[in-house]
Structure 1
Amino acid sequence: MIGARPLVRFGLLATPLLLAGCVVGPSFHGPKLAVPTAFLSPSRAAPAWPKPGWWRNFGSPELDSLVEAAKLHNFSVIEAIDQLEAANAQIEVSGSPLLPSITGSGSGNFQQAGTGAAGASSRSAFSQFGGVGSGKNSTTHSYSANFQASYELDFWGKNYDALRAAQANAAAAQFNAATVALTEEASVATTYFQVLAYEDELAIAHHNLDAAQGLLAQLKAEFKAGVVDEPTVAQQAALVASERATIPNLVSELRQQALGLGILTGKAPEFLRVKGGSLNDIVVPPLRPGLPAQLLERRPDVAEAEATLIGANATVRGAFASFFPSITLTGSGGWQSTALNTLFNPGSALLSAVSSLSQPIFEGGALTGTLNVDRATYREDVAKYEQAVVQAFTDVETAMTALHYATDQEHLQQIAVQRAQAALDGARAQLQAGVVDVSTVLNAEETLLSDENTLEQSRLTRLDAAVNLYKAMGGGWVLPKNEVR
């Protein structure tokens, strides 16, 4: 059974939460899933979980630098980090209804007016004789300062559930950032290994081309001496042309893979320099996970799915709470005076307090529809969580199986290459002794070339399987202790 406990964070919002009365809606209980007791895939390694910086175990300093560049500059990683920042900010927004809302205002008013008839006669005398009237003006001053506080009692837990959903979504964003980072790290490793594989195949092609050209030169000399016929020379020349024709395609594939490292490391291809090397220099460390139950705390995608599920449950609870009354407390206080210097005297104070209750009566189905939508979303997230768990076990089993048999294939293919090389050496010696014709040598060359390329592909398959196993085991990621389930 896979347990799930709600994510909890404590901070400045803890005190208002104590004011919450009743909570409504379904409590969160993690889905019950059967967890295997052990992995089935064969492995010769002792159980050991990977650690952070897992790519360093392959022993390639250039790979290390490429992965570090991707961690800093990969666009998908940066995007996931920005999404995490937005989710953390949303916690503040969602938590604000749990605190009182306080506003302040102030005003000052000045008004001057005449005294009526006296003012009118004076204005008339002024107009007729040019004199100044004797009317009087009245002046009024008014000053005020006010503060208003409003607080909604979270009696049914609606606002708390909104905060809880935001916290769960922020945790999911955090786990998603870890998943994206792990995915990009693995992509850098597999792409880099592909570059090395093409470099090895290119070296094999050049080596075989040189050998074929050497044999062609020998056959031409023997043709002039009358030892071999012209079709024999033509057959070898055709082999030389065929091997030379494979080189441009290998160079193209090599460069395309190297260019692909640019987008992974966040650099334009013109600024990227890949030294390369050989797959023979890469070390494949022994890998094997521990117990399957431990895997669920080492996969950020599983943690993300569970956090999303917790958030969806909190949203359903909030939708339930919307059916119940909301209670709001409002208080205001201030001062009002006709003189600024006496504004804050005790006699100028004004106080008021109001409480209100609002109960939804008819919403045209909006509340019911919202609840049904949230319930369906929760069930969808349950399915996604269960899929993430099963996918985690599947990924590990698949990667372990691939690594085990790729290791066997590489070992057997090395034997095949050794025997093909011995057969070619023997055929060349027999050709010089005149025991066999050149077709025997040509067949031996083609066999060796094919076996060498197959060996290179089996090495690449083994390395890719090792990277996939590191990724399937979480790449050294562990559920943070402060993120309790």
Structure 2
Amino acid sequence: MKRSFALMAVTAVASGVLSGCVSMAPHYQRPAPAVPAVWPQMDDAAATEASAIADIGWQRFLQDARLRDLVALALQQNRDLRVATLNIERARAQYRIQRADLLPSVSASAEEVAQKTPATVSQSGVETISRQYSVDLGVTAWELDLFGRVRSLKNQALQSYLAQTETQRSAQISLIAEVAGAWLQLGADQTRLQLAADTYASREKTYALTQRRHALGVASALDLAQARSSVESARADVASYRSQVAQDRNALQLLAGAPVPEALLPDASVETLAVLDELPAGVSSSVLQQRPDVLAAEHQLIAANANIGAARAAFFPRISLTASAGTASTTLSGLFDSGSGAWSFVPQISVPIFAGGANQANLDVAHTEREITLAQYDKTLQTAFKEVADALALRATVDEQLAARQALVDATTQSYALSEARYRKGVDSYLNLLDAQRTLYSARQSLISAQLARQTNLVTVYKVLGGGWNAADAAAAGPSSNR
């Protein structure tokens, strides 16, 4: 057994020596960003401001307590996020498997070999049965990683694991934004439904008035028919928005991954700010390199770099060791007697001489895959730049659009009031009143859309700039008590 310990000691020393083995992987340098340094909507001075938006946690960004509770529920129950988390666990396990190849695998074995020799071939002319027992502790085919092949594969698995981690972060940020967007959409559609219901009730009153005027001979049959058509149009809108609200609730429940309590649903209004209104005005495009999807693409690029190292190492000799030490005896009782020690040591070296160009082809594949991954990294960065540029472009004009929509509602409200007064006094026909009704209804619908666009844009800006995510906050997130 002393030899067993000696074997394990030699193995440990070899592991220490190999920890300083050379790597054939090329030196990695982060590629220069394939995007401008600043957004089209701002100058260099604005871009020098700190990109504080990435440090704003979602609990602080979401101002409505009901929305915060709903996001916390989704982070716990959403199935897509659960799959992303399980992908991390799988990648972590694969990394551990690959890392284990750096160390020798030591195993113990015990065996009995029984052999019968017939009398016809026995030297003594007598049939004999021989037995041999052995107990061994050994290492089988452990590769000495002199040229970094195994280490490169380990690094590739590590980067794949880190890429999965960033992908999960990206999925979480997207989920938060999707839940907030769906919640705001539900609130806007509830507002539209309330507007349609109020309009329906108002037009029914106008229709009743037109019926009385028609009975008195003041209003024409055309006025009565037009009033009836406006009532039916409003009734159709009410039915349509009821359906839309139901679909919005279904979408919200799918994102949450569980039934959504009524207490967490929004009111029939989008005027109250549900998210943080004041976001940093100026950020450099370098913040994109910290977006989870961009980081995931960079980890994949580093993994492709490591694959080149493994492909290069295939051109060099591969050395593996198989060794064992233990005891052997022809009788089970004598297995551990003095003088029964046995050992074997089988070093093996494999030198590539001719492989039909396979090694060179594998290296070419690794180089090509790195170029593909580099192009994908650049495309991810450029896509992120476009998303931010689009969101900032809308943000620059959304307040102006909202003010214009509000002014239009004020003007059409006044116009409708005058038209209704003139109709009641018999000065104008119902056609003028109907036009005023439709214009006011359309203006109010547009105002709701503008209010929703402003809120949604804030969520989008927060998301595309890699809106702050804190693991500790997310783990501790629970239902809010300050409702």
CA distance in 1, matches of 2:131, 2:321: 33
Q: Which runs of structure 2 are paired with 1:46-445 in the superposition (5 Å)?
A: 48-51=52-55, 53-54=57-58, 57-108=61-112, 142-150=132-140, 151-267=142-258, 275-277=265-267, 278-284=269-275, 285-288=277-280, 290-340=282-332, 342-445=334-437
Does the 8 A contact of 1:16 with 1:99 survive in 2? Answer: no
Give distance in 2, aligned partners of 1:37 and 1:365. Answer: 44
Which residue pairs with 2:479 in the alignment?
A: none
Q: How far is 1:30 from its partner?
A: 2.1
Cα distance in 1 for partners of 2:111, 2:129 equals 17
TM-aligned CA distance change 1:194 to 1:459, over 3 Å: same
Seen in structure 2, the aligned counterparts of structure 1 residues 55 and 260 have a Cα distance that, compared at 3 Å, is: farther
Q: SS at the partner of 1:86?
A: helix
How far is the alpha carbon of 1:267 from its aligned partner?
Answer: 3.4
Q: Is the 8 A contact 1:199 1:254 kept in 2?
A: yes
Q: In structure 1, what residue type is equivalent to 2:210?
A: L
Checking the alignment, whether the CA contact within 8 Å between 2:25 and 2:152 is kept in structure 1 is no
- Select the structure with the greater relative contact order (CA < 8 A; seq sep ≥ 6): 2
Q: Distance in 2 between matches of 1:70 and 1:17?
A: 50
Q: 2:438 aligns with which of 443, 446, 450?
A: 446
Normalising by structure 2, we get a TM-score of 0.83
Deviation per CA, 1:266-323: give whole Å up to 9, x if none: 2379x99973322123345122365325413430001000000000110111011011
CA gap 1:35/1:152 in 2 versus in 1, 3 angstroms:
same
Q: Distance between the aligned counterparts of 2:118 and 2:317, measured in 1?
A: 54
- Say which SS state the counterpart of residue 30 (structure 1) adopts: coil
For the 8 Å contact 2:41–2:393, the answer to whether it is kept is yes
Structure 1 CA distance, aligned partners of 2:373 and 2:447? Answer: 44
Distance 1:115 1:223 in 2: 128
- Which amino acid is 2:294 matched to? V
CA deviations over 1:336-362 (Å, ceiling 9, x no partner): 234555433442112332322101222
Gap change, CA 1:354 and 1:435, over 3 Å in 2 = same
1:143-188 superposed Cα distances (whole Å, 9 cap, x missing partner): 3211222432111100100000000000001011111122222222
Give the whole-Å Cα distance in 1 for the aligned partners of 2:117 and 2:358.
55
Contact 1:54 1:470 in 2 (8 A): no
1:258 & 1:356 partners in 2: Cα distance? 66
1:296 match: secondary structure: helix
- Calculate percent identity across the aligned residue pairs: 29
Change (3 A) 1:470 1:444: same
> Residue type of the partner of 2:138?
Q
1:19 aligns with 2:19: yes
State the alpha-carbon separation in 1 of the partners of residues 262 and 213 from structure 2: 49
Report if the CA contact (8 A) 2:62-2:68 is conserved: no
TM-score (norm 1): 0.83
User: How far does the alpha carbon of each residue in 1:125-160 deviate from its partner, in whole angstroms, 9 at most, with x for none?
Assistant: xxxxxxxxxxx9999764321122243211110010
Q: Is the 8 A contact 1:110 1:139 kept in 2?
A: yes
Q: C-alpha distance in 1, partners of 2:388/2:59?
A: 17
* Distance of 2:178 and 2:17 partners within structure 1: 44
Q: Secondary structure at the match of 2:101?
A: helix
Query: Contact 1:42/1:401 (CA < 8 Å) preserved in 2?
Result: no
SS at match of 2:53: coil
Q: Distance in 2 between matches of 1:338 and 1:232?
A: 116
Q: Provide the rounded CA distance (Å) in 1 between the counterparts of 2:207 and 2:230.
A: 9
Deviation at 1:228, TM superposition (A): 3.0
User: Does the residue aligned with 1:281 lie in a helix, a strand or coil?
Assistant: coil
List per-residue Cα deviations over 1:229-268 (Å, max 9, x = no partner): 3332332222212222222222222212221223222237
Partner of 2:3: none
Structure 2 residue runs without a partner (length 5+): 1-11, 121-125, 473-483
> Which blocks of at least 5 consecutive residues in structure 1 are unaligned?
1-11, 117-135, 481-485
CA pair 18-411 structure 1, distance change in 2 beyond 3 A: farther
The answer on whether the counterparts of 2:322 and 2:346 sit within 8 Å (CA) in structure 1 is yes
Match of 2:451 in 1: 459
